[in-house]
Chain A
Amino acid sequence: MLDVGYWMLDVGHKINPESKIQNPKSNIQNPKSFMEPYIEIKNLVKHYGDIKAVDGLSMKVMPGDIYGFLGPNGSGKSTTIRMLLSLIRPTSGQILIFGHDLAVDRYQTLSRVGALIEKPDFYNYLTARKNLDILGKLSKVQNLPARIDEVLAMVGLLGRAHSIVRTFSLGMKQRLGIAQALLHNPDLIILDEPTNGLDPQGQKEIRDLVKTLSQERNITVMISSHVLYEIEQIANRMIIIDKGKALVEGNVHDLINGEDRQVTYIVDNPEALRQMITGTPWEAKFQKSSPDRVWFKITKDEIPVLTAFFIEKGVKIFAVEPVRSLEDFFLQLTENETAN
Chain B
Amino acid sequence: MRQLINIELFKIFTKPRTYIGFGAIFVIIVAIQVGIKIKGDEMVGMIIETLSDKFIFEGKLINMYSVGYIILNTLWIHVPILVALVTGDLLAGEANSGTYRILLTRPISRVKLIISKFIAGWVYTTMLIIFMILLSVVVGGILFGTGDLLVMTTKVSILSSDDLVWRFLAAYSYGLLCMTTVAAMSYLLSAMSDNSIGPIVGTIALIIGITVISTVGKSLLEPVLPYFFTTYLTSWQKFFDTEFTMNMISHDILIQFIYIFGFFFITLFYFRKKDILS
Contacts and interface: CB of A to CB of B under 8 A. Distances in A.
A107 B109 contact: yes
Contacts of A135: 102-103, 106
Interface stretch (B9-17, B79-87, B165-173, B178-186): B9-17
A139 interface: yes
Interface of B: 3-4, 7, 10-11, 14-16, 97-109, 273, 275-277
A118 B102 CA distance: 11
Contact of B106 (A82, A110, A118): A110
Majority-rule SS of A interface residues:
loop
Interface in A118-138: 118-119, 121-126, 134-135, 137-138
Interface of A: 82, 85-89, 106-108, 110-111, 113, 115, 117-119, 121-126, 134-135, 137-140, 177, 180
B3 A137 contact: yes
B14 A125 contact: yes
B106 A121 contact: no
A122 B100 contact: no
Contacts of B98: 118-119, 121
A123 B277 contact: no
Contacts, number: 70
Given A87-B276, A88-B277, A89-B273, A122 B104 contact: no
A140 to B, nearest CB: 8
Contacts of B276: 82, 87-88
Contact of B104 (A87, A107, A108, A139): A87
A51 to B, nearest CB: 13
A193 to B, nearest CB: 13
Contacts of B15: 125
A126 B275 contact: no
A25 B189 CA distance: 53
B105 A110 contact: yes
Contacts of B11: 123, 134
B17 to A, nearest CB: 10
Contacts of A126: 14
A243 B192 CA distance: 28
Contacts of B3: 137-138
Contacts of A177: 102
Contact of A122 (B10, B99, B107, B108): B99
Given A121-B98, A123-B99, A134 B7 contact: yes
A113 B105 contact: yes
Contacts of B106: 110, 135, 138-139
A110 B102 CA distance: 12
Nearest to A85: B105
Contact of B97 (A86, A89, A123, A139): A123
Contact of B100 (A87, A89, A111, A113): A87
B103 to A, nearest CB: 7
Interface core residue of A87, A137, A139 (most chain B CB under 10 Å): A87
A106 B108 CA distance: 9
A163 B101 CA distance: 22
